[in-house]
Structure 1
Amino acid sequence: MARKPVKKTAAAPVTVTVCRGCCCGTERRHPEVDHAAQLVRLKEGVGAAGRVRAVPCLDACDHSNVVVVSPSAEGRAAGGRPVWLGWVLADDMLDEITDWVKAGGPGIAESPGTLDLQEAAVSRRVREGLPG
């Protein structure tokens, strides 16, 4: 029996997950933030270096606006783990996230020092519930 050809797929890229649920991404919670523009800015900034996706509530509402930067396959192999960032409300934070993704993200490149201030500690239950 002949073997089926194996499709080559690109390794998993750095993924930026943006919470847009009950608190994050809402005008009610953050009326001073243009949430749609934030998402566009991230997608354009990351470009081909990774992927950006919006998801419903990540259940970390105390840290609203939440963004999770997950390592690429290469970054995970190098020991990188998802980094949960809270209170991502300003354009300079978005720029630092996109610069970090372009540099390789978790496991490959050090995060900009100012993003360390935005790191949010979330429960294991919440971390493990991050959609794939």
Structure 2
Amino acid sequence: MTARPVGGVPCRVVVCRDCCCGTSKVTGIDHTAQAARLRAEAPVRVSACLDVCDQANVVVVQPSSAGRAAGARPVWLGLVNDPEATEDIAAWVRAGGPGVAPRPAILDLYGFAPPRRRTAS
């Protein structure tokens, strides 16, 4: 069971699982186990394609309400294709995630800026 911070929304995780992420196109990782491991630390939402297939597997760590209050924004992590990276993310989420706990330096290797969404004119 995931611990819920007192008086707020917990850190959340989004895992892309569509055309590239979470499929046999990305080899050497148990995609089901990855999602389950992250789910052990925080609520996990499985998303359709996030349009960054060149970064498969993509994991987005969303800040808790406390993290948002501290000014944190979602952190996009790409190429999360080994159990050690999943463990690093799980540990950061367990510690509080964006805006609450410092991001481990190793996760800087996985960070990338998400694409800008096009809006209808």
TM-score by length of 1: 0.80
Q: In the alignment, which residue of structure 1 is the partner of 2:21?
A: 24
Name the amino acid aligned to 2:58. V
Q: In the alignment, which residue of structure 1 is the partner of 2:66?
A: 74
Residues 91-130 of structure 1, C-alpha deviation per residue, up to 9 Å, x if partnerless? 111111111111111011111110001001222218x9xx
What displacement does 1:60 show? 1.1
1:97 paired to 2:94: no
Distance 2:10 2:50 in 1: 20
What displacement does 1:72 show? 0.4
Q: In the alignment, which residue of structure 1 is the partner of 2:106?
A: 114
What displacement does 1:31 show? 2.5
What displacement does 1:20 show? 0.3
Q: Runs of at least 4 residues of structure 1 off by over 4 A?
A: none
Aligned with 2:117: secondary structure?
Answer: helix
Q: In the alignment, which residue of structure 2 is the partner of 1:37?
A: 33
1:60 paired to 2:58: no
Where structure 2 has 5 or more consecutive residues not aligned to the other structure, the ranges are 1-6
Name the amino acid aligned to 1:75. G
Name the amino acid aligned to 2:52. A
Aligned length: 114
Q: Say which one has the larger Rg.
A: 1
1:124 paired to 2:120: no
Aligned residues of 2:38 and 2:90 also touching (Cα < 8 A): yes
Distance 1:86 1:113 in 2: 15
Where structure 1 has 5 or more consecutive residues not aligned to the other structure, the ranges are 1-9
TM-score by length of 2: 0.87
> Percent identity at matched positions?
51
